[in-house]
Amino acid sequence: MAQASITDLYPSRVTDMPSITERQDPALWCDLNAPPPGPLTREQLAAFERDGFLFLPDVFTPDEVERFRMELSRMANDSELRGKEETVLEEDGEMVRSIFRIHRLSDVFRKLAKDPRVADAARQVLGSDVYIHQSRINLKKPLYGKGFFWHSDFETWHVEDGMPRPRAVSASVALTENNEFNGPVMVIPGSHKRFVACVGETPDDYYKQSLRKQEAGTPDLESMQTLVAESSIQAPKGAPGGVLFFECNMMHGSTENLSPFPRSNAFFVFNSVENTLAEPFSGKEPRPEFAGERDFTPVGDL
Amino acid sequence: MAQASITDLYPSRVTDMPSITERQDPALWCDLNAPPPGPLTREQLAAFERDGFLFLPDVFTPDEVERFRMELSRMANDSELRGKEETVLEEDGEMVRSIFRIHRLSDVFRKLAKDPRVADAARQVLGSDVYIHQSRINLKKPLYGKGFFWHSDFETWHVEDGMPRPRAVSASVALTENNEFNGPVMVIPGSHKRFVACVGETPDDYYKQSLRKQEAGTPDLESMQTLVAESSIQAPKGAPGGVLFFECNMMHGSTENLSPFPRSNAFFVFNSVENTLAEPFSGKEPRPEFAGERDFTPVGDL
């Protein structure tokens, strides 16, 4: 599966030595002096460029959020769906950790993916039309929902899915409150401008394990200390209906949810239609489509 | 090992149904109108009675903390100590999670246990002289240090050690900063006035597992929702040198440390000399002395 035609600008999992290198690409793909039309202001686009994320409270109304939550509840209790590979369980093999491909499995979430409040924002940031590379809901069950170790999504998507460049953005729509105690997403502002090459080889069919608990493709301690020393850790928090946009190469993670109430967010990954997938840079088989979509239909046409 | 002579006022792990009952004992054992001499003011004692905890910043100076940290570093790297049962490893079997009995293993920590800033405060709260029921350092390694699930210490000490009544207080001395991102202790104010009876039996030699990851003696989801709905979750944070005092029946827990810097606290559990251990209420063998001391020498005489 190796590809001679594309130079690997972001090699990772190829040596035993971790390294931090500079990003080779823009972090914002539109012209700030003439930004494309959309919900984000020039100031917001500049903040996204600088920090790698942008948190907007109250993007969706309580009624809209209620509809999303009912749909989530329906899906989480759908026994047929539970048997599909789109449903990823916690390591205990019982609790649902994530449901993938929600933009294909659900009309409600397909409409949410196309909503201009997220899709037009993604078009602005990426300076092009966009398609959905991945979508999912992460459910962090009360008391027992596990976290997600630090990672750059782009590192995974590049190595395991063949995404050529970091020209994708995630929108995380809060379906519940995200607070200090339920495992909110933690970000390192500015880390999207650095690329942390990870050590270790990618096992075959690694997604079957990594979607429960990631090990390959995770940064080393020294790199993490460097990134945080250069910047800080932040955890954007807020009421249901808020949206966290974050650049695909931003280092992020989250802890377990030890609160006795659930935490869930719906994620939509918008990739530029000018950045569609090649073969995985690991040389392995690509992950299945629920984890890395290979149908590049623009989101507006879904 | 069952004891006919003492009525079990706080039965736990005896039925399949969890329950929440009222505390049968005072939460503060001194007279607020004539408190014993010591570092805590009447207002602080009243806050402790009401909330079940009291956080005091800057109790120890940076120089003192530096001495504690050097001693911790020495102990954590002592290969002989690592082989002793006082050292509890993480589930991976490699990283040190806790070192127990530090008031016996180390002169520095013996002196800290006797320091009036903690010991006199404990004497005030408990209205009597005190001895050390347990001491330890919890090290939460950067990125990989695991958390502690919600629990009432008294539930464990009562069932597994035979502590008759909740007349003990812990002092957690911060050796590093405790912040939002490194797994600070989380408390539920007021929860010390309720007793959550847990389900399930206590396995033989349970401490060998529970000190790494507790399962028996942990509260159920519904009880936790009740406690939090009645109150809130709080996480006292601050610089090294601060002390968190908390009542032995207060529900508390902490998440993993996903930050790339260590978090460590030294814990000293002061029990009233009028509340020394009986046989465990589980009917099992008591835990070893490093987990539940059976030498009731007042701390001042150590």
Q: Which residues of chain B make contact with A143, given a CB cutoff of 8 A?
A: 149-150, 221, 224
Provide the number of CB pairs (under 8 Å) joining chain A to chain B.
Answer: 65
Mean pLDDT, residues B193-220: 86
Model pTM score: 0.93
pLDDT at B211: 80
Hey, is the C-beta of B116 within 8 angstroms of any chain A C-beta?
Answer: no
DSSP 8-state secondary structure symbol assigned to residue B170: E
Nearest to A149 by CA among A88, A232, A210, A228: A210
Determine whether the interchain pair B260/A221 forms a contact, defined as Cβ–Cβ distance below 8 Å. yes
Binned at pLDDT 50, 70 and 90, residue B2 comes out as very low
Binned at pLDDT 50, 70 and 90, residue B1 comes out as very low
What total of structural domains would you count in chain B? 1
Does residue A290 register a pLDDT over 90?
yes
pLDDT at B161: 96
- Which of the residue ranges A49-58, B91-100, B117-126, B244-253 would you say has the lowest mean pLDDT? B91-100
Binned at pLDDT 50, 70 and 90, residue B94 comes out as confident
- B205-211 long-range Cβ contacts below 8 angstroms, 24+ apart: B205/B285, B206/B160, B206/B284, B207/B160, B207/B287, B207/B288, B207/B291, B210/B156, B211/B88, B211/B97, B211/B98, B211/B291
Per-chain mean pLDDT for chain B: 94
Decide: A200 and A61 in contact? Cβ < 8 Å.
no
Determine whether the interchain pair B228/A142 forms a contact, defined as Cβ–Cβ distance below 8 Å. no
Determine whether the interchain pair B181/A253 forms a contact, defined as Cβ–Cβ distance below 8 Å. no
Range of A207's domain? 3-301
Hey, is the C-beta of B180 within 8 angstroms of any chain A C-beta?
Answer: yes
pLDDT at B206: 83
Rg (CA), chain A: 18
Q: What is the CATH number of the domain that holds A124?
A: 2.60.120.620
Binned at pLDDT 50, 70 and 90, residue A1 comes out as very low
Does residue B6 register a pLDDT over 80?
no
pLDDT at A92: 82
Residue A61's CB: how many other CB atoms inside 10 A?
A: 11
Does residue A288 register a pLDDT over 50?
yes
pLDDT in tens, A225-250: 999 999 999 999 999 999 999 999 99
Binned at pLDDT 50, 70 and 90, residue A211 comes out as confident
pLDDT in tens, A56-81: 999 999 999 999 999 999 999 999 99
Percentage of chain A surpassing pLDDT 70?
98
Alpha-carbon distance A209 to nearest alpha carbon in chain B (angstroms)? 18
Which residue of chain A is at minimal alpha-carbon distance from B226? A260
Instruction: Measure the CA–CA gap between A99 and A266, rounded to whole angstroms.
Output: 9
pLDDT in tens, B237-279: 999 999 999 999 999 999 999 999 999 999 999 999 999 999 9
Could you tell me how many residues make up chain B? 302
Nearest to A246 by CA among A297, A173, A195: A173
Percentage of chain A surpassing pLDDT 90?
85
| Structure tokens that stand for B164 in this block | 């008759």
